[in-house]
A = this chain, B = another copy of it.
Amino acid sequence: MRYAIVGTGAIGGYYGGMLSRAGHDVSFLLRSDYEYVRVHGLHIKSCNGDFTLPRVKAFRSTADIGPVDVVLVCIKTTGNHQLATLLPPLLHKDTLILLIQNGIGPEPDLQAIFPSANIAAGLAFICSAHESAGVINHQAYGHINIGNYSCTDSTLISNVIDNMCDAGIKAVSVDYKEARWKKTVWNMPFNGMTVALDTTTDRLLACRSTRCLIREMMLEVVGAARALGIDSLDETFADKMIADTIAMPPYLPSMKLDFDNRRPMEIDYLYTRPIAEARKAGFDMPRLAMLEAQLRFLQSQHT
C-alpha cells in the first residue's frame, strides 16, 4: 500500500519512518525540513535503537505526491483548516485517512468536507519530539490504537494495522468513540493544568489540592463519556490514569510544549468540542470549562 504522511514532525516522522524502514512506500510532506530531508534523509533517535533513512520520498506539496492508499494526518488540530486543500490530491475513491490527533471531533469535521472519505482515528501513546530539521527523538512508548470512524472496508484497516505491526509499531483496533474519550480523560486535565499553572504532571500530583482537582476533572470527562453512552468508562479508570501518571517521569504534555514555544494551543478539539458534546447530552463540565476560559485568556496574551 502507498502511504502519505501529512506533517512530518514528532508523530508523523516516527510512524512514517518506522513504516518506511520496513520497506513500505511512504511519501513525506514537509515544510521547513524539506531541504534538509531531501539531501540528508530522516534520522530517528529511538529508545528502541536509532536509525537513519538516508533517502526518503520528500515532497513540498501533496499534488506532487498524488493519490495514495493511506494518509496519516499527523499535524496538530490547530492546522486542520488546511486539510480541505491539502488532502484532495492524495485521495482516490478508497483512500483511508487516519487522523493521528488529540481531542474530540476531528473525524466528523473532516467527513463534512469529504462526505465519501474513509476516515479512522489513530490514538498515539508516545513520547516523541521534533528535535531539529530531519531529526525525530522517540523517547518512550509508541503504541497506537486505531478506531474506525467511517471506513466501509474493514480489511483496509486490518491491513494498515498489519503493516504497522510488521514494522514494529504496536497497533490494535479499538472502538472509535470509546478510544477518543478514554484518551481525553488524561488529556483534558493534564494538558490545560500544566499550562495554567506553568508546571509538570508530577508536581500537580504531588500537591493534595491539585491531585484532587485533577481527579474531579477526570470524573467530569468520565461523566461526559457516560452521558454519551460509553458505559465502559468509570471512576476506576480515572484512578488508574492517576496511578499511571504518578509512575511516569515528570512530563510536559503537548499543549504545554505548544504554549511554551508560543505555538497555538489545541483548545478547540481538546476543550471546546468535548464540553459542547457533553452539554448536548445534558452533562456539564464546570471545572474543565473554567480551565478552557483560562487557556483562552493565556492564548490571547500571547498574540
Contact = CB atoms under 8 A, between A and B. Distances in A.
A295 B142 CA distance: 35
Given A204-B297, A209-B300, A213-B293, 7 more contacts: A196-B196, A197-B294, A210-B293, A210-B296, A213-B290, A216-B290, A287-B287
Interface string A182-202: 000000000000001101000
Contacts of A204: 297
Contacts of A300: 207, 209
19 contacts: A196-B196, A197-B294, A197-B298, A199-B297, A199-B301, A203-B301, A204-B297, A209-B292, A209-B296, A209-B297, A210-B294, A210-B296, A213-B290, A213-B293, A286-B286, A286-B287, A287-B290, A290-B290, A290-B291
A212 interface: yes
A286 B240 CA distance: 24
Contacts of A298: 197
Interface in A155-205: 196-197, 199, 203-204
Contact of A197 (B210, B212, B213, B297): B297
A207 to B, nearest CB: 5
A296 B207 contact: yes
Contacts of A213: 290, 293-294
Contacts of A287: 286-287, 290
A197, A204, A286, A290 pick with most chain B CB within 10 angstroms? A290
Interface in A239-275: none
Contacts of A297: 197, 199, 203-204, 207, 209-210
A294 B212 contact: no
Contacts of A212: 293
A287 B298 CA distance: 18
A11 to B, nearest CB: 29
Interface in A202-224: 203-204, 207-210, 212-213, 216
Contacts of A210: 293-294, 296-297
A207 B287 CA distance: 19
A186 B89 CA distance: 56
Contacts of A286: 286-287, 290
A196 B301 contact: no
Q: Most B CB atoms within 10 A — which of A207, A209, A301?
A: A209
A209 B301 contact: no
A135 B291 CA distance: 40
